[in-house]
């Protein structure tokens, strides 16, 4: 009799456990169905109901109850992301609202929940991308710096309910992405150019025709490209720098609308030569100008101040032979130009600071780095020649956009996608040891064009 009661009790416990597991599964499935139908209010309600039953998101597959000899996983190994899903649903609801106050309320709710996930350590690329969109809509782009996107994004989420352009996929430098569903065209707001995506297998029918024609030039755009391959500081040397600036110049002219006469290229320059070149460009720019600055080579942070090292700099604290990054930027800021800065440097941490720790506080500036603080930059190969991995991704992405007005944050995301495989075209992604940063944007739209 006692044995029978024990068996019944055990059976009830098992049924209760299975019922509990079924509750979150049912709610999550309800959320996915509602999302697929565009019913984001119900999707949010269902995601939150799943959270009430199983509280934490997971970036691992979920093992279901059953015999050890016959292991089963939920949804064929899919990830469980109800908290992210609830925040995303609030964001999507916000995008649908015509009432500004209600839109901002929902965006604020979504932002708060995404911020909480990131603070918790769930630093997914998709969370950062949605948060970037929200901050841009609310005009609070500066808040992104609080969450330090440059520290990396290693958390994974269920992307089955996201739009295709919100999923951060890895694409290797040298590859072209395609929609897989036929051709689609996205035009520039001012009609300056179009990006054509073609179904796999048909790329060559359009690619050569479109990409062989340079993007129309905008005479208000200028570029300063500095490539210091040589350095007396071996641990900070970036050996591909001189080659990289040539590749970048060609890509800017062909795919981004920069006139050759408005591009200055310096190789193995001293601080004085860098300053002189910047001054020469600054004399030409005005308040409606866009200035693209790329630096590749040795750089360092001394006492909280960022410095570009001259080719003659002998040691990392020899600031007499360096150019302050802020001084270079100030020349263009004083003219009211929009400044887009890209740095390909090793970011060694010295005394708690790495190059890039100093951030712009005046002027309209967007600044990105080839890698996160404390990490190095690496190379890949193109046509038998060593190329900086960051520049390989940048030039590929410029070609992909083929526009004379390229949104900076979207560009940075595509560079991020391209670099994650580290040039391994056979990999499924996520293998790169170099992680580029998103831009830190000051006093302009998060997706201001360059």
Alpha-carbon dihedral sign for residues 124, 129, 134, 139: positive
pLDDT tens for the chain, 450 residues long, are 444 444 444 444 444 444 445 789 999 999 999 998 889 999 999 999 999 999 999 988 888 776 666 667 888 788 999 999 999 999 999 989 988 899 999 999 999 999 999 999 999 988 988 988 888 788 787 787 788 776 778 899 999 898 866 777 543 333 333 333 333 333 333 333 444 444 455 444 445 545 667 888 899 999 999 999 999 898 999 999 999 999 999 999 999 999 999 999 999 999 999 999 999 999 999 888 999 999 999 999 999 999 999 999 998 888 999 999 999 999 999 999 999 999 999 998 888 889 998 988 789 999 999 999 999 999 998 888 899 999 999 999 999 888 889 999 999 999 998 887 554 433 334 446 789 999 999 998 888 999
The pLDDT assigned to 9 comes to 46
Question: Candidates 1.10.3470, 1.10.10, 1.10.1740, 1.25.40; correct CATH number of 20-168?
Answer: 1.25.40
**Range list of H helices, 120-188:** 125-138
Instruction: Name the segment(s) of the chain with CATH classification 1.25.40.
Output: 20-168
- Determine what percent of the chain falls in helix, strand and coil, rounding each to the nearest 5: 45, 15, 40
The pLDDT assigned to 179 comes to 31
CATH topology of domain 173-442: Rossmann fold (3.40.50)
Q: How far apart are CA 366 and CA 132, in angstroms?
A: 14
Task: Please state, in angstroms and as integers, the Cα–Cα distance from residue 221 to each residue in 246, 257, 288, 338, 360, following that order.
Answer: 18, 8, 9, 10, 21
**225 CB-near residues (< 8 Å, 6+ apart):** 245, 248, 249, 263, 264, 265, 266, 294
- As a whole number of angstroms, the longest Cα–Cα distance in the chain is 97
Report residue 301 CA to chain centroid gap: 24
The pLDDT assigned to 175 comes to 37
Half-sphere exposure of 80 (CA within 13 A, CB side): 23
Taking alpha carbons only, the member of 246, 141, 202, 212 closest to residue 399 is 212
Instruction: Name the segment(s) of the chain with CATH classification 3.40.50.1460.
Output: 173-442
Q: How far apart are CA 328 and CA 155, in angstroms?
A: 36
How much is the pTM? 0.62
Half-sphere exposure of 231 (CA within 13 A, CB side): 29
């Amino acid at each position: 009799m006692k044995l029978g009661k024990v068996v019944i009790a055990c059976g009830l416990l098992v049924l209760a456990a299975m019922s509990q597991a079924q509750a979150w599964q049912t709610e999550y499935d309800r959320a996915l169905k509602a999302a697929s139908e565009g019913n984001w209010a119900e999707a949010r309600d269902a995601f939150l109901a799943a959270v009430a039953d199983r509280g934490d998101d997971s970036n691992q597959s979920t093992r279901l109850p059953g015999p050890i000899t016959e292991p089963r996983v939920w949804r064929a190994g899919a990830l469980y992301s109800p908290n992210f899903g609830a925040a995303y649903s609030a964001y999507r609801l916000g995008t649908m609202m015509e009432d500004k106050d209600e839109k901002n309320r929902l965006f604020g709710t979504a932002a708060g929940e995404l911020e909480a996930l990131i603070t918790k350590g769930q630093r997914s690329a998709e969370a950062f991308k949605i948060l970037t969109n929200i901050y841009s809509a609310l005009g609070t782009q500066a808040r992104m710096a609080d969450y330090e996107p440059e520290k990396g994004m290693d958390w994974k989420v269920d992307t089955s309910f996201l739009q295709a352009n919100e999923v951060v996929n890895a694409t290797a430098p040298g590859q072209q992405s395609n929609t897989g569903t036929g051709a689609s065209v996205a035009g520039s707001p001012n009609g300056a150019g179009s990006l054509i995506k073609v179904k796999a297998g048909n790329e060559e029918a359009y690619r050569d025709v479109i990409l062989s024609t340079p993007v129309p030039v905008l005479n208000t755009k200028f570029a300063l490209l500095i490539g210091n391959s040589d350095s007396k500081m071996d641990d900070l040397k970036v050996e591909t720098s001189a080659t990289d600036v040539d590749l970048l110049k060609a890509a800017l002219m062909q795919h981004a609308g920069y006139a050759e006469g408005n591009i200055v290229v310096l190789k193995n320059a001293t601080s004085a030569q860098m300053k002189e070149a910047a001054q020469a460009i600054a004399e030409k720019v005005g308040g409606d100008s866009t200035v693209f600055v790329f630096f590749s080579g040795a750089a360092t942070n001394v006492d909280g101040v960022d410095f570009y090292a001259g080719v003659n700099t002998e040691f990392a604290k020899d600031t007499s032979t360096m150019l302050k990054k802020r001084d270079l930027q100030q020349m263009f800021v004083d003219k009211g130009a929009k400044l887009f800065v890209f740095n390909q440097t090793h970011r060694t941490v010295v005394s708690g600071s790495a190059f890039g720790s100093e951030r712009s506080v005046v002027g309209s500036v967007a600044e990105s780095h080839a890698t996160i603080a404390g990490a190095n930059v690496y190379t890949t190969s193109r046509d038998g020649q060593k190329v900086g991995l960051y520049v390989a991704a940048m030039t590929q992405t410029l070609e992909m956009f083929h526009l004379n007005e390229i949104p900076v944050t979207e560009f940075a995301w595509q560079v991020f996608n391209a670099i994650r495989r580290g040039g391994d075209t056979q990999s499924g992604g996520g293998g790169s040891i170099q992680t580029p940063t998103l831009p830190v944007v000051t006093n302009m739209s998060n997706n201001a064009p360059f």
